[in-house]
Amino acid sequence: MFSGIDLDLDVDVDIDADVDMEVENGLESGNIDFQDVSNVEVDRQHVVNKRTRNLKWWQVVLIYFNFVGLPFMFTFTFWIFNWWLISVITTTLTNNYNTSFGYAIVLLAILPSLFLTKIVTVPFKSFFKNLNKDGDKAIDFIGLEAKLLSTISGEKMGNAEVIVDGNVMTIYVKSLDTSELKFHEKALIIKQSEDKNYYFVAKPNLN
């Protein structure tokens, strides 16, 4: 549902997890946008604990059932559809509607639907691997003007909208001199952070 809604919200989420999960050019600890999560493509290095380099059981499950290596929402959609399909066919054949056994079938269908999802998504691996394998050309935002989508000051991070070649893009920004920059105010992108997760912005020089 969230993946289909265009939300211009600055959502601050405190993440308290024992696994260091990192997505390139998208997330900084404590700041997550719904659109970032729904569109993310998870790679193996994103689900590996950076301290131990060991995989946990749920990470192995993600990799085994092709949630890793393919766009997450792509595999997730296949899984939900297969789960629904197996549930409908089984309850129809057994004529168990609105019964405890029928509800049990729905729950038990989770596992076979995962294996079916693994089978049907395997052919797409080579397709997505060769699709734009060289990646998108990096965009140089330095020197461009951005419109703030939230008020920022001090160490607070916010979102800003930048138009490049007619395309609207959203980036994470901080105030260069920690002064307050207000919502919908124009700002000039000065430089990128060392971890390359956000940009420093300042009020444009009008002189």
Q: List the chain pLDDT tens, one digit each, 207 residues.
A: 344 444 433 333 333 333 334 333 343 334 434 333 334 444 445 445 444 456 778 888 888 888 887 888 999 999 999 999 999 999 888 887 777 888 888 899 999 999 999 999 988 887 777 665 555 667 888 999 999 999 999 989 999 999 988 888 899 999 999 999 999 999 999 999 998 889 999 988 755
CA distance 200 to 191: 5
CA distance 117 to 79: 5
Q: For the chain, how long is the longest CA-to-CA vector? A: 78
The pTM (predicted TM-score) of the whole model is: 0.42
| Angstrom distances, CA of residue 144 to CA of 89, 189, 203 | 55, 6, 12
DSSP per residue over 20-50, as a string?
----TTT-BTTB--HHHHHH-B--GGGSS-T
CA distance 120 to 88: 19
CA distance 28 to 157: 9
| Angstrom distances, CA of residue 118 to CA of 25, 28, 47, 103, 115 | 28, 31, 18, 24, 5
Start-end of CATH 2.40.50.140 domains in the chain: 145-202
Look up the CATH superfamily of 145-202: Nucleic acid-binding proteins (2.40.50.140)
CA distance 149 to 170: 9
CA distance 97 to 82: 19
